[in-house]
């Protein structure tokens, strides 16, 4: 059959199937008490309502249709959660039901989702992966043991800024700086080597594959709303994502194979070897953990940890530059706790109360995942008199929850002080205060939260203690672009550029 005719036939069949599905939904909707919903168009449903910033569009719709709202997006039924009370129902009261995962099409390329800790279903394999990561990487004991790795990584970052930027009065691209710092910190914690080296072509290819893959996965894909269109690959996702994954897999496979070869050579060495996370994973191969699983776990942790942390820190620095009086408060606190004769240490962080308030305020305003990763109802469930059918997607709009005017005074204003007084001072982001859940809550809460907590505070404190920051070209702080691009991760529309001026004596920047 002619390719054009085959394409037209496929689209026609898909359209008929979609229409039948929509009609079936409408029939069911009359008999099922679904949460309130806006009017939907045939075939496309409510897709036209999302816009370029779905978090804002959904927040506005929730003001009309309520904090538990139904949308029809193509062939998918979505329930949007927009309040702390409804988030608690979904992520705590009925956590076992809504712990299912919605796998986007991009995550299915090369069957990545089958070994992924992010996209895995709530089952024995996911629980095993999570237990390994929690115990061997993110436990208090392991984080204490790896403290020197984070210290060295952050100091190398400070040295780089001092040598390459401050002495030459050259602006820093924060997005790149913090992404690469986070990437190397994580890789050093996991397999004792930094993966980003600008002088290593293979390393650069790997980093580009990570960032390009994330950008591709964040783009809207009709196949996620019309599964019948998957085989057409209308956006070219299959080919492009496969290429990115293959490059990343090749790089990680090389590290893993080198480690296996080294372990084989050292097999007869009687000296006790200190094991890192990769060694632990390789030791577990006899417990139904394949090399593909190991590669996928490392890949997911590198992507999730570096991308989200980098975006949050860039927002933090942007807000502090935008509000120089707030930056000065952090620096005064640092002077009182740390002084000018040494660098910041992780042990200092607990004494920096205003710094903690700044990080909380940034996470409230700019949660790394504005809608989290979609949950899925594994069985039908009733909430507040409404029925959530099995396999319904659940989007938790944590961006909206963090800006709810019923909870937060002047919700769109950057005011770290709100976390220093009254009831708000007791709020944290560990998943128990549902007015403030930037990392999610329940069993699907971000498993890297303990590490992210340390990285955010330590890196931000080090940057502010070591340097003053000003915008290039005489730009006023009030002119700083604070707009964002919506995606799986909430990022600045324009990368932050700023010129550092050392605040410490020069010998501290080179002290080993």
Closest-CA residue to 190 (of 312, 287, 305, 309): 305
Indicate if the pLDDT at residue 58 is higher than 80: yes
Cβ pair 430, 464 in contact under 8 A: no
Band of pLDDT at residue 32, cut at 50, 70 and 90: low
Higher pLDDT, 421 or 185: 185
Q: How confident is the model at residue 272 (pLDDT cuts 50, 70, 90)?
A: low
Q: Is the pLDDT of residue 82 over 70?
A: yes
- For residue 100, the model assigns a pLDDT of 96
360 contacts 416 by C-beta, under 8 angstroms: yes
Q: Which residues contact 435 (CB under 8 A, 6 or more apart)?
A: 84, 401, 402, 404, 407, 408, 427
Query: What does the pLDDT look like over 345-372, one tens digit per residue?
Result: 999 999 999 999 999 999 999 999 999 9
**248 or 27: which leads in pLDDT:** 248
User: 472 — phi, psi (to 5°)?
Assistant: -75, 160
Closest C-alpha among 287, 259, 284, 285 to residue 273 = 259
Residue 323, SS3 per DSSP: coil
Q: What is the mean pLDDT of the chain?
A: 90
Instruction: Please tell me the predicted confidence (pLDDT) of residue 1.
Output: 41
Residue 434 has pLDDT above 90, yes or no: yes
Nearest-angstrom CA–CA distance, 424 and 413? 15
Burial 421-435 (b: 16+ CB within 10 A, else e): eeebeebebebebbb
Whether 14 shows a pLDDT value over 70: the answer reads no
Pairing of strands 76-81, 393-396: parallel
Averaged pLDDT, 39-63? 95
What is the reported pLDDT for 31? 58
Q: What is the DSSP letter of 351?
A: G
Whether residue 7 is predicted with pLDDT greater than 50 in this model: the reply is no
pLDDT of residue 271: 47
Q: Is the pLDDT of residue 11 over 70?
A: no
Read off the pTM. 0.91
Which residue is it, tokens 């700044």? 358
* pLDDT tens-digit readout, 302-334: 999 888 999 999 999 999 999 999 999 999 999
Closest listed residue to residue 466, CA positions, set 318, 342, 356: 342
According to the model, what pLDDT value does residue 17 have? Answer: 46
What's the pLDDT at 199?
Answer: 86
Q: What is the CATH code of the structural domain delimited by 32-510?
A: 1.10.630.10
Residue 371: the pLDDT is 96
pLDDT at position 166 is: 78
Three-state DSSP at 402 gives: coil
Percent of the chain exceeding pLDDT 90 equals 77
Cβ atoms of 316 and 462 within 8 Å: the answer is no
What dihedral angle (degrees, nearest 10) is formed by the CA atoms of 59, 62, 67, 72? -100
Domain boundaries, the chain: 32-510
Alpha-carbon distances of 72 from 23, 40, 190, 218, 242, rounded to whole Å: 12, 7, 41, 20, 30
Taken in order 337, 343, 348, 352, the sign of the CA dihedral is: positive
* Phi-psi group of 36: left, alpha or beta (phi > 0 → left; psi -120 to 50 → alpha; rest → beta): beta
Q: Give the model's confidence band at 269: pLDDT under 50 very low, under 70 low, under 90 confident, else very high.
A: low
Question: To which H or E segment does residue 173 belong?
Answer: strand 172-173
pLDDT at 3: 41
Three-class DSSP category at 499: strand
* C-alpha span between 366 and 372 (Å, rounded): 12
Is the per-residue pLDDT at 18 higher than 70? no
What the block records as the tokens of 207 is 């980093």
* Mean pLDDT to the nearest integer, 489-507: 93
């Amino acid at each position: 059959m002619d390719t054009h005719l085959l394409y037209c036939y496929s689209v026609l069949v898909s359209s008929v199937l979609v229409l039948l599905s929509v009609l079936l939904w409408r029939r069911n909707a009359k008999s099922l008490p679904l949460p309130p919903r806006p009017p939907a168009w045939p075939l496309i449903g409510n897709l036209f309502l999302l816009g370029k910033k779905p978090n804002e569009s959904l927040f506005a719709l929730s003001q009309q249709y309520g904090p538990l709202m139904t949308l029809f997006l193509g062939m998918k039924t979505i329930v949007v959660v927009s309040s702390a009370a409804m988030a608690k129902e979904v992520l705590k009261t009925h956590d076992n039901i809504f712990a299912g995962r919605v796998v986007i099409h991009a995550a299915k390329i090369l069957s990545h989702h089958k070994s992924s800790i992010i996209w895995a279903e709530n089952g024995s394999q996911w629980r095993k992966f999570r237990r390994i990561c929690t115990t061997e990487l993110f436990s208090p004991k392991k984080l204490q043991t790896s403290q020197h790795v984070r210290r060295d990584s952050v100091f190398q970052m400070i040295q780089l800024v001092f040598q390459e930027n401050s002495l030459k009065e050259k602006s820093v691209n924060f997005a790149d700086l913090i992404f690469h710092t986070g990437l190397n910190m994580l890789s050093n914690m996991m397999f004792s080597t930094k993966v980003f080296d600008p002088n290593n072509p293979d390393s650069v290819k790997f980093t580009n594959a990570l960032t390009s893959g994330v950008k591709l996965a964040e783009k809207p894909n009709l196949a996620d709303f019309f599964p019948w269109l998957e085989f057409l690959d209308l956006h070219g996702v299959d080919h492009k994502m496969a290429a990115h994954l293959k490059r990343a897999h090749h790089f990680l496979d090389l590290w893993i194979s080198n480690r296996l070869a080294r372990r084989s050579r050292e097999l007869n060495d009687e000296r006790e070897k200190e094991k890192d996370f990769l060694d632990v994973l390789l030791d577990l191969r006899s417990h139904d953990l394949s090399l593909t699983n190991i590669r996928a776990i490392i890949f997911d942790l590198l992507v999730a940890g570096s991308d989200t942390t980098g975006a949050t820190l860039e927002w933090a620095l942007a807000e502090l530059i935008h509000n120089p009086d707030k930056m000065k408060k952090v620096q005064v606190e640092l002077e009182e706790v740390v002084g000018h004769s040494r660098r910041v240490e992780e042990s200092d962080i607990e004494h920096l109360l205003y710094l903690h308030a700044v990080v909380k305020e940034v996470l409230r305003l700019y949660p790394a995942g504005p809608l989290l990763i979609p949950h899925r109802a594994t069985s039908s469930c009733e909430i507040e008199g409404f029925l959530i059918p099995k396999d319904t997607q659940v989007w938790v709009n944590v961006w909206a929850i963090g800006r709810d005017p019923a909870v937060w005074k002047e919700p769109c204003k950057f005011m770290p002080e709100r976390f220093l007084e009254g009831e708000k001072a007791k709020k944290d982001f560990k998943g128990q205060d549902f007015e403030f859940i930037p990392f999610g809550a329940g069993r699907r809460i971000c498993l890297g939260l303990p590490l992210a907590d340390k990285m955010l505070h330590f890196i931000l404190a080090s940057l502010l203690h070591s340097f003053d920051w000003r915008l290039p070209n005489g730009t006023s702080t009030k002119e700083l672009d604070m707009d964002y691009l919506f995606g799986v991760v909430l990022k600045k529309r324009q990368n932050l550029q700023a010129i550092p001026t050392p605040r410490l004596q020069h010998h501290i920047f080179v002290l080993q």
